[in-house]
Amino acid sequence: MRKKLSVFVGLLLIMLIATSCSSPFQEFSNRGMSEEEVTITTDDIPEEPDKQELISKIKGNTSEQIDDVIEANFSLMDVVSGEGNQHAEIYATKRFALSELATVLIDAMEPEKASEVKDNQQIFIYPDHFVTLKESEEDDNVLLIEVAEDEFVRRNYSPSFLGTYFTFRLLDSLFGNNWSNRRAETCRAGDCYGGYTGKGYYPDGKPKRGNTTFRGGGPGAGK
């Protein structure tokens, strides 16, 4: 009887230990897999300098990288991760309209290519980065600024989306090896990224967005 009781107590202890060890892991896994739509409003954006001060800082920058210029002057709001461990950073401002900030950025650092404004968006191609200015669909007073590494664009973007702004000939010359046709084949079989919407993007069929609950933090945060 004592032997059976000892065995029972031992099994009970093992079960308790296993439960205590597994629960935090399960909780962590569920948190990592959860995805909520991100809405960026004026209330989410930390206090910014006034427009003229921002213009002076942007035009007076000493960096040769557009991502450094944007990081130094605007608040990071979200990060989108894709295949190849590359990412796109989402900044926001309530100080500028799209045309105003486009003019300031071009004057400060001229892009290699600039698209026309379509669907309330404009895209600039810089060395190593694509910069997209987009009027928020949720808040008329918010302008979103997406800074995507060119490798993120090459491996995640939809050619049909980019083809709205640039010719396929240009895109193929940038990414090589008949990129637009090859990428179109990939996109037929699964989801491809078509610019920031605040919703999840899952290139492998599972959540890969990072920092979806990040809010504010000031210029330069999160990098």
Return the amino acid letter for 115. Answer: S
Report how far residue 147's alpha carbon sits from residue 49's, in angstroms, rounded to the nearest whole number. 21
Q: What pTM value is reported for the model?
A: 0.76
Dump strand ranges (E) for 40-128.
75-81, 87-93, 113-114, 121-126
For residue 165, with 0-12 CB atoms within 10 Å meaning exposed, 13-18 middle and 19 or more buried, which class applies?
A: buried
CA angle centred on 167, ends 175 and 87, rounded to 5°: 45
Per-residue pLDDT of the chain (223 residues; tens, 9 = 90+): 555 545 454 555 545 444 444 333 222 222 222 345 788 999 999 999 999 999 999 999 999 999 999 999 999 999 998 876 788 999 999 999 999 999 999 999 999 999 999 999 999 999 999 999 999 988 999 999 999 999 999 999 999 999 999 999 999 999 998 999 999 998 987 779 999 987 655 454 443 433 333 333 333 333 3
